[in-house]
Amino acid sequence: MIFCAVPRTANNIEIQYFVRITLRLSIPGIMKLRKSDLKLILMKLIAGIVLCSSTGFIHAQSIRLSAKVRDINTHRAISYANVFIVDTQIGTTTDQSGNFILNVPAGNPGIKIRIQHIAYYARDIGLDSLQTTSVIFLQPRIIPMTGLAVEAERVQMLDITKDLPQTVAVITAKEFEIRGYADAGDLLRTDQSVQIDEELSGRKLASIRGGNADEVIVLYDGVRMNNTYDNVFDLSQIDLDDLDRFEIIKGSNTALYGPEAFAGVVNIVPKFQQDYLIRFQQRFGSYQSGKWGLHLYKNWRNLHAVYSIKKSGAIRTATGFSNAQLVNETENHTGSLVYDFSGSGPANSRNTLGLMFFLNRMDYDNQIHNENLVNSNDMVSLHYTGNLGFVKNVDLSASYRKTDEGQFLLISDEAVERTIDNKSYYVYLEKRFYFRRFDLLLAYQHETGLLDFTDDRSAIIKTPIGVKAASFTQHRNGFVSILKYHAPTGSDFFNQFDINLSYRYDGVSNSQDHVFLRDPVNYPFSGIFDDTHWKDSTVKFSVNLAGGDEYLATNGFINVGNNVKFPTLFQQISSPQFITPDSAATILSPETNNSIELGFNLTRKLPFAATMYGWQISASYFQNNYSNKLRTFFTPGFPVAFYDNVRTAKISGFEFKPGLFLLHKKVTLEAGVAKYNISNKAAFPFKFDYKHIINLFIDHLGYAFQMHLFREGEQTGVIRLHSTSSTTGNVTDILSPELQPEYLASDLAIITLPAVTNMDLHLSKQFHLKKLKTYI
């Protein structure tokens, strides 16, 4: 028996070819061999050897090509680009680092190799040129190419495409991963619709389109991050390393991400595949600030493992206070294990099972006001997407999240010590169906939250009222269905006309146990509520028309619908008695919202233009009408908020954003205008009613320069004053001179914060030295 094995590389797969010649002879048969038989055996042996030799010769005549594919402007690696021999099925794709290996047959110098990606213009390179080229640069497109089925499978689609069409801003990793942003809050503030409220402790809350922070849902890898207590999330806990993108969904017409998204959704998508094995970073800055991080990545075929640890801190010395400082320290651990069952495409595409954890700790010490804040946020999730046996297109995830917050505050003779311990369990199940022109998505969401709350106070000037300690349990259930009909257009240009309808049902129940009141004799109802059960349904309708060709692309939509927001635990244990002492216990009702929005996007590629490469315009108009709006009041020096109700409120506005692409997209210039009309600024306190932005991006030969300039308008809010018997003095003694109030009544005042102008400048350069990549 003779066999030979010849390795051959095709599409990066090792294939073994075997040639086998078997002679079966018994010992008696050998004794009877004739001369002619021996001659036949010898001929077969020679034939086998020649066949193996010729096969090896053919393999030896193949040429092994390898190169890197990068963006011609940014020099960033281009992942999952198609690399193939023109007019053949022989090809491969680039990996996460933009590298590829391709074996092509020798003896044909006229062979052309094509490199193709939906976001770039395709490039053909001759065999001789490719043999002497180590890096291939592609020119980015303004209008992505369509019709690449293989590429579409490998490119991660936006999560929002499953929902109704609406205004979405996407910030990809290439716009922030090597910039100087401290955290997600700083990055999101560059968007024209987003306002970031930053506290001295470093906590950053996002507001969108003039709404409040508890009207924005924050998701991390599909897991809801808003806490059970007041439905907000601190964006300073999200470090920008190892993230793929941010999706800012504006408005209240989302159906998939749950109720209470009156203002919008921030969807944070992590990156599960990296282009490094080890990465270390060190940053230095003003305020004695610094941050270092160590990141590790390893893949074993279809298994991808990522772990990172980051620590940062800053020390700010307060002006006018001797040796008084504001000290911030954070520590962050993230990691993931993702197994790709399909074995192709990015690990976060489909047919994947992933385990991910997120651990964050923040310590803040305000030596000026004797304030200390310790916050920890831990989350672990298991996420599967793909097929479960014969059940196709399933998305299943389960997560556990734990948040602990301890706060100590001392102002004059008032002391507050508060602890909030929150645990939540979240389950999400999604199934998609495809019926010719119909797409149907069904999803079920469940969340259970357990909250232990304590709020000890001493030497409060006013009579202490409200809940001193309690335990809470909250159950949330949601069912959502989204139906999309792809109607025929009969047009070559307008090739997409979708009619979308969504229905969502939500139920929320709350209970409290082990309640201790500060003054149960005089205020027996303050902070006490019976078990609450709310349920409501929302319906949304949308029409979307899109189309385009190589030089022009357009997309427009109209959305109408309603939304609901359930009272938070914070609102339920607060009390209107502080404002109206004679009022009895109040049973809260959910807030409702009716909205309409119109939006469009137009992109134009200018052919044969050397300087102006193209332009883009996006615009939207929206109107939100609120009913039973809960209005919150704050008192200077008093760390507790109280509410009353507004029967109706309204926010309307428009957003306009033009952009220019110059010098083959080496230069991008954007401007943006957002203008809002807020009917009741007490219901939406300290929100700007206009914002202007100018963004400039320059990318050339690996150098990058960014300028972000924005101006936010004045912010107005209503506060409640201390009584004249307050030993801390009048409110005018607490506020700085430029923030003096305009009095509405004996105990209410309007405070106006001045307009703010901000400019960020970022200059960076990346260097590639063989396998070492450096950013400065």
Q: Supply the pLDDT for residue 371.
A: 82
Q: Supply the pLDDT for residue 480.
A: 95
pLDDT tens-digit readout, 635-652: 665 555 677 777 889 999
pLDDT tens-digit readout, 650-708: 999 999 999 999 998 999 999 999 999 998 888 898 999 999 999 999 999 889 999 99
Lowest mean per-residue pLDDT among 42-51, 103-112, 172-181, 221-230: 42-51
Q: Which position has the token pair 């021996």? A: 38
Q: What is the Cα Rg of the chain in Å? A: 31
Q: How far apart are CA 632 and CA 646, in angstroms?
A: 10
pLDDT tens-digit readout, 167-190: 888 888 878 877 778 788 888 988
Strand order in the sheet with 243-250: 168-172, 243-250, 264-270, 216-220, 223-224
719 within some domain: no
Contacts of 88 by beta carbon, 8 Å cutoff, 6+ apart: none
Q: Supply the pLDDT for residue 30.
A: 47
312 and 450, same domain (yes or no)? yes
* Mean pLDDT value across residues 438-447: 94
Asked if the model's pLDDT at residue 753 lies above 50, the reply is yes
**DSSP secondary structure, 118-134, as one string:** TTEEEEEEEHHHHHT-S
* Mean pLDDT value across residues 140-146: 82
Q: How far apart are CA 228 and CA 423, in angstroms?
A: 8
Say which residue, 312 or 15, is predicted with more confidence: 312
Q: Supply the pLDDT for residue 581.
A: 46
23 and 92, same domain (yes or no)? no
577 and 635, same domain (yes or no)? yes
pLDDT tens-digit readout, 278-288: 988 888 888 88
Q: Supply the pLDDT for residue 350.
A: 63
Say what the pTM is: 0.83
* Mean pLDDT value across residues 562-577: 80
219 within some domain: no
Q: What integer best gives the mean pLDDT of the chain?
A: 81
Q: Supply the pLDDT for residue 165.
A: 87
11 and 104, same domain (yes or no)? no
19 and 131, same domain (yes or no)? no
Nearest to 82 by CA among 95, 66, 63, 72: 95
Q: Supply the pLDDT for residue 587.
A: 65
Q: Under a CB-based contact definition with an 8 Å cutoff, are residues 459 and 425 in contact? A: no
* Mean pLDDT value across residues 616-625: 95
216-220 vs 264-270, strand pairing mode: parallel
447 and 591, same domain (yes or no)? yes
135 and 7, same domain (yes or no)? no
Alpha carbon of 70 to those of 81, 148, 190: distances in Å? Answer: 10, 20, 27
248 within some domain: no
CATH number of the domain within which 566 lies: 2.40.170.20
Q: How far apart are CA 297 and CA 280, in angstroms?
A: 12
25 and 146, same domain (yes or no)? no
Domain of 393 in residue numbering reads as 268-713+755-775
Beta bridge partners of 307: 296, 335
CATH number of the domain within which 71 lies: 2.60.40.1120
405 and 520, same domain (yes or no)? yes
Amino acid identity, position 480: V
Asked if the model's pLDDT at residue 195 lies above 70, the reply is yes
* Mean pLDDT value across residues 423-439: 92
For the chain, give the percent of residues with pLDDT over 70. 80
400 and 379, same domain (yes or no)? yes
User: Which H helix or E strand runs over 53?
Assistant: helix 35-60
Asked if the model's pLDDT at residue 746 lies above 60, the reply is no
Q: Supply the pLDDT for residue 602.
A: 95
68 and 55, same domain (yes or no)? no
pLDDT tens-digit readout, 262-319: 899 999 988 888 878 898 888 888 888 888 889 999 988 889 999 999 998 888 887 7
475 within some domain: yes
647 within some domain: yes
Of 60, 80, 105, the position where a domain reaches its end is 60
Q: Supply the pLDDT for residue 711.
A: 96
pLDDT tens-digit readout, 383-422: 998 888 888 889 999 999 999 988 887 766 667 788 989 9
Of 18, 33, 60, the position where a domain reaches its end is 60
* Mean pLDDT value across residues 500-523: 87
At 582, is the pLDDT very low, low, confident or very high (cuts 50, 70, 90)? very low
Asked if the model's pLDDT at residue 16 lies above 50, the reply is no
Residue 534, φ and ψ in degrees, nearest 5: -125, 145
440 and 291, same domain (yes or no)? yes
Q: Which two tokens stand for residue 120?
A: 């770039």
Q: How far apart are CA 93 and CA 84, in angstroms?
A: 8
740 within some domain: no
Q: Supply the pLDDT for residue 34.
A: 61
As for how many domains the chain has, the answer is 3
Asked if the model's pLDDT at residue 244 lies above 90, the reply is no
* Mean pLDDT value across residues 440-451: 94
Of 104, 120, 154, the position where a domain reaches its end is 154
Q: How far apart are CA 665 and CA 676, in angstroms?
A: 32
Q: Under a CB-based contact definition with an 8 Å cutoff, are residues 215 and 233 in contact? A: no
203 within some domain: no
421 within some domain: yes
Q: Supply the pLDDT for residue 368.
A: 75
Say which residue, 584 or 369, is predicted with more confidence: 369
Beta bridge partners of 206: 196
* Mean pLDDT value across residues 466-473: 87
Q: Under a CB-based contact definition with an 8 Å cutoff, are residues 758 and 190 in contact? A: no
